[in-house]
């Protein structure tokens, strides 16, 4: 949105983008999203809403290109010991945080320890035993065992290096800097109007020469997907990442001055599923969960609800991973089998034909895979005698709080593999990651000792074939236990103004830095 300033930013935003909004700088990028971040500290919080901002405000040891190759970022170079039990990072000299304080190996040590202690992806850094800092520019990460996921874990969204002098005192969960972050990334945080927008400005002292290209980034939060699509169509926003509503993508493909691409996102591995509160009756009975699986007509879901574009998902590891298998229970549509399982579970229909009632939640802002899926389940389960109340959340934080505090029966959810199963898959199924209050941990409260043991072995196995066999058995058990019913792989697209170049099209898509985005006209 290459315009000249004609009004104050706050005043324009108060009127909304469609009411003559004008950014503060000529080179401004306006990004649209439906997701409201709870805060901006990706060291202790997961989720696209937080990760997008984290990758702009903070820098990480490494970053990745579109071919899965690690590249220098804060670390100019690195080496792994022959036994795989340590990784040494050699940091750039002269890097400063946005407040002017130098970034040193002590901040790397503090950040890794903070992530290990607080992040919902508990398996991501579980093998880290110590971080040594022999000098200000050297950090040595020691491991209890070889850790095949560590290099990917050093990416911008997953390992933001946060300043110890800002975040090191008191309870980090309550640190005010979580809502006003200080990092060393390409953009400085300026302001946040919760539920409305947040604004970033160019870091003039960024350690990569000539970057970032933009002077200012505005992330406008538009809670309704239809309005977000309309804003992109008429040019009120310049870029909309993580678009998954197929009909909106098809609509923007026809819009003048707008391009749509699915480049990038390869490492994210997004899956859409229905999760159960497995410690809450009647969902503590595997037969009930399996019955609901057989009651779903996935052909109808994929072809009708999702427009024939989204790919099927049969298990917890995305099909593009070398660790995936399709040799699992298929849950083919079978209402008679579903009813028989409910009978076996002792859930006989009452005089009105009702076996039990349950609530169904969904992530707000996702019409096709969220609300529509919940409404489909309400209709589909009624003939079985299951009365479903579709429960709406006004915003993402409300939904996340409900699920993280186990205040749910069933919920639609979208959860990502994050490159390696150790990072994005283990967290959902390990007994040790049942952590109340933490979204996208094991909020299903699923516990199976055999699964715990398999994941523990797979996390340290260095032989790819042996590792794949461990994950195959894991997937077969989880699909049979049905704490989650897998529906589809989530397609991700970025819609953007034709005048933009340098889009974030790495394996991490829009949760990588936007430092090369610029206007060509």
According to the 3-state scheme, what is the secondary structure of 246-261? Answer: HHHHHHHHCCCCEEEE
pLDDT at 122 over 50: yes
Instruction: Read off the pLDDT of each residue in 443-449 and give the average, rounded to a whole number.
Output: 98
Distance, in Å, from the CA atom of 367 to the CA atom of 415, rounded to the nearest integer, reads 16
Beta bridge partners of 77: 90
Structure tokens belonging to residue 183: 């990092």
Task: From 465, 468, 433, select the one nearest 452 (Cα to Cα).
Answer: 433
521: pLDDT confidence band, cut at 50, 70 and 90? low
Instruction: Read off the pLDDT of each residue in 46-56 and give the average, rounded to a whole number.
Output: 94
pLDDT at 271 over 50: yes
Structure tokens belonging to residue 385: 């005698």
pLDDT at 342 over 90: yes
pLDDT at 20 over 50: no
Instruction: Read off the pLDDT of each residue in 48-77 and give the average, rounded to a whole number.
Output: 96
62-167 fold = Dipeptide-binding Protein; domain 1 (3.90.76)
What three-state secondary structure class fits 465? helix
pLDDT of residue 224: 84
Domain coordinates in residue numbering, the chain: 9-58+171-266+492-519, 62-167, 270-489
pLDDT of residue 267: 87
Q: What is the CATH number of domain 270-489?
A: 3.10.105.10
Instruction: Read off the pLDDT of each residue in 241-266 and give the average, rounded to a whole number.
Output: 91
pLDDT at 440 over 60: yes
Q: What is the CATH number of domain 9-58+171-266+492-519?
A: 3.40.190.10
pLDDT of residue 3: 41
Distance, in Å, from the CA atom of 232 to the CA atom of 238, rounded to the nearest integer, reads 7
pLDDT at 56 over 90: yes
148: pLDDT confidence band, cut at 50, 70 and 90? confident
331: pLDDT confidence band, cut at 50, 70 and 90? very high
Beta bridge partners of 512: none
What three-state secondary structure class fits 68? coil
DSSP annotation of 5: -
Digit-coded pLDDT (tens) for 369-394 = 899 999 999 999 999 999 999 999 99
Task: Please give the model's pTM, rounded to 2 decimal places.
Answer: 0.79
pLDDT of residue 10: 37
pLDDT of residue 15: 36
| Residues whose CB is less than 8 angstroms from the CB of residue 343 and which lie 6 or more positions away in sequence, other chains included | none
Instruction: Read off the pLDDT of each residue in 173-181 and give the average, rounded to a whole number.
Output: 97
pLDDT of residue 266: 85
Q: How far out from the chain centre does Cα 368 lie?
A: 18
Distance, in Å, from the CA atom of 158 to the CA atom of 155, rounded to the nearest integer, reads 5
pLDDT of residue 25: 66
pLDDT of residue 292: 98
Instruction: Read off the pLDDT of each residue in 490-499 and give the average, rounded to a whole number.
Output: 93
Distance, in Å, from the CA atom of 451 to the CA atom of 449, rounded to the nearest integer, reads 5
What does pLDDT average to over the chain?
92
pLDDT at 83 over 70: yes
């Amino acid at each position: 949105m290459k315009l000249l300033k004609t009004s104050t930013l706050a005043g324009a935003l108060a009127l909304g983008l469609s009411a003559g909004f004008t950014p503060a700088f000529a080179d401004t990028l306006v990004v649209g999203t439906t997701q409201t971040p709870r805060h901006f500290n990706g060291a202790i919080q997961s989720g696209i809403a937080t990760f997008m901002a984290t990758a702009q405000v903070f820098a990480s040891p490494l970053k990745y290109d579109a071919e899965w190759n690690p590249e220098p970022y804060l670390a100019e170079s690195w080496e792994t010991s022959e036994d795989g039990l340590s990784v040494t990072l050699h940091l750039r000299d002269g890097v400063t945080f946005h407040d002017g304080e130098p970034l040193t190996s002590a901040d790397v040590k503090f950040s890794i320890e903070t992530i290990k202690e607080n992040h919902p992806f508990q398996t991501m850094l579980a093998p880290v035993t110590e971080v040594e800092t022999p000098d200000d520019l050297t950090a040595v990460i020691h491991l209890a065992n070889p850790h095949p996921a560590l290099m990917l874990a050093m990416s911008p969204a997953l390992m933001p290096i946060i300043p110890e002098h800002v975040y090191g005192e008191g309870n980090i969960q309550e640190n005010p800097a979580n809502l006003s972050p200080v990092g060393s990334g390409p953009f400085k945080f300026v302001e946040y109007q919760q539920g409305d927008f947040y604004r970033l400005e160019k870091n003039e002292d960024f350690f990569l020469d000539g970057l970032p290209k933009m002077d200012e980034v505005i992330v406008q939060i538009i809670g309704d997907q239809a309005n977000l699509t309309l804003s992109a169509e008429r040019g009120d926003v310049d870029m909309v990442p993580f678009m998954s509503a197929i009909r909106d993508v098809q609509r923007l493909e026809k819009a003048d001055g707008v391009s749509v691409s699915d480049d990038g996102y390869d490492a994210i591995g997004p899956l859409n599923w229905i999760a159960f509160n497995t410690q809450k009756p009647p969902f503590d009975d595997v037969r009930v969960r399996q019955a609901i699986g057989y009651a779903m007509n996935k052909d109808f879901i994929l072809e009708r609800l999702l427009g024939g574009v989204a790919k099927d998902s049969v298990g917890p590891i995305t099909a593009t991973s070398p660790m995936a298998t399709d040799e699992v229970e298929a849950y083919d549509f079978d209402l008679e089998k579903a009813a028989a399982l409910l009978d076996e579970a002792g859930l006989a229909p009452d005089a009105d034909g009702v076996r039990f009632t349950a609530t169904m939640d969904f992530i707000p802002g996702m019409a096709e895979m969220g609300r529509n899926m919940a409404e489909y389940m309400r209709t589909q389960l009624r003939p079985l005698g299951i009365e479903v109340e579709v429960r709406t959340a006004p915003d993402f934080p409300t939904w996340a709080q409900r699920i993280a505090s186990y205040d749910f029966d069933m919920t639609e959810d979208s959860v990502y593999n994050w490159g390696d199963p150790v990072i994005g898959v283990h967290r959902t199924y390990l007994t040790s990651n049942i952590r109340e209050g933490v979204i996208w941990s094991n909020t299903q409260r699923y516990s199976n000792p055999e699964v715990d043991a398999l994941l523990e072995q797979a996390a340290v196995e260095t032989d790819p074939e042996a590792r794949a066999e461990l994950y195959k058995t894991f997937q077969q058990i989880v699909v049979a236990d049905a704490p989650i019913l897998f529906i589809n792989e989530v397609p991700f697209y970025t819609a953007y103004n034709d005048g933009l170049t340098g889009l974030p099209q790495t394996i991490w898509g829009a949760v990588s830095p936007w430092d090369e985005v610029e206007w060509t006209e």
